[in-house]
Amino acid sequence: MFLAPALLFAAMFKFIPMLEGIRMSLYKVQPFLGDEWVGLQNYVTVLTDERFRDALGHTVLLGVGQTVGALVVGFGLALLLEGQARSLWILRTAVFLPVVTAVAVIGEVWRILYFPTSTGFANEVLGFLGLGPFGFLSDPNSALASVMAVGIWSGAPYDMVIILAGLAGIDRTLYEAAAVDGVNRWQRLRYIVLPGLRPALTVVLTLATIRGLRIFTEVYVLTGGGPAGSTEVWMTRVYSLGFERNDLGVASAASMVLLFVTLFLTVAVRIVTRRREAG
């Protein structure tokens, strides 16, 4: 009974829309005219569409780049900010702020920082070094990397918190025994810290995989998929088809493809990491 309100809310706004999305993916959706059954044709359209293939490539690049970058930065931050000192708690809180800030706000702030003229903040800083100005988001050659940098900046603190929790779970007596045996920092990191962090890293990789595949808001606010489609990802393509071209059938099919791919990769990551843990 206590769970009923939450379950009802989840059913209304998550599970029922998901089932409706599966239904719509099998129809040519025609508002006010009646839906026309097309079977798997929408899926064929998605899998053969060149723009979807390009969007998939951009999604993979962004997902892998942000996952690796955020993991490395988050791991470094966790090692630097590990401890119980009050000053470290304050620093961790400050570093974590991007996670609790609305993604749309983050995107808008970075869009201003990336302003492509010499008066933009990033270009003004680079100007002191004799560099620039650069069209971070207006240049097709740099736009994807610029979006990736924002994703790393906003995702690293989230990974940091999970890794900090993993570090706190490592038996401290192992550190003491290693110090007695004369183990250096690199050896302690390799033989104590990394093995002890395997469960935390599994969680980080799983969540990062899901987050990378579903990336939308950052791209939509920063570039809208441009310039010239150089940052168009899977979800911006879905949004364009569904809400700008009103092709809800193909958009639903694309969403279902993303769901299946996400489930497959999530299970694959879990299986691989569990085998490594067992080994």
Across the 279 residues of the chain, what is the mean pLDDT of every consecutive 10-residue run?
91 89 90 83 92 92 92 92 82 90 91 85 88 86 93 93 91 85 86 88 86 89 89 93 89 92 84 71
17 inside domain: no
Does 114 fall in a domain?
A: yes
Residue 197: is it exposed, middle or buried by C-beta count within 10 angstroms (0-12/13-18/19+)? buried
In a domain, 16, yes or no: no
In a domain, residue 3? The reply is no
Q: Supply the pLDDT for residue 277.
A: 63
Domain contains 270: yes
Distance in angstroms (rounded) separating the CA atoms of residues 171 and 89: 21
Whether residue 127 is contained in a domain is answered as yes
- Domain of residue 115, CATH code: 1.10.3720.10
Cβ neighbours for 71, distance < 8 A, ≥ 6 positions apart:
159, 201, 204, 205, 208
* Domain total of the chain: 1
Whole-angstrom CA distances from 277 to 106, 159, 160, 208, 269 are: 36, 19, 21, 19, 12
In a domain, 11, yes or no: no
Q: Is residue 5 part of a domain?
A: no
* pLDDT attached to residue 54: 93
d(CA 217, CA 228): 18
Q: What is the pTM of this model?
A: 0.86
> How many CB atoms sit inside 10 A of residue 219's CB?
27
Query: What residues make up the domain containing 79?
Result: 24-278
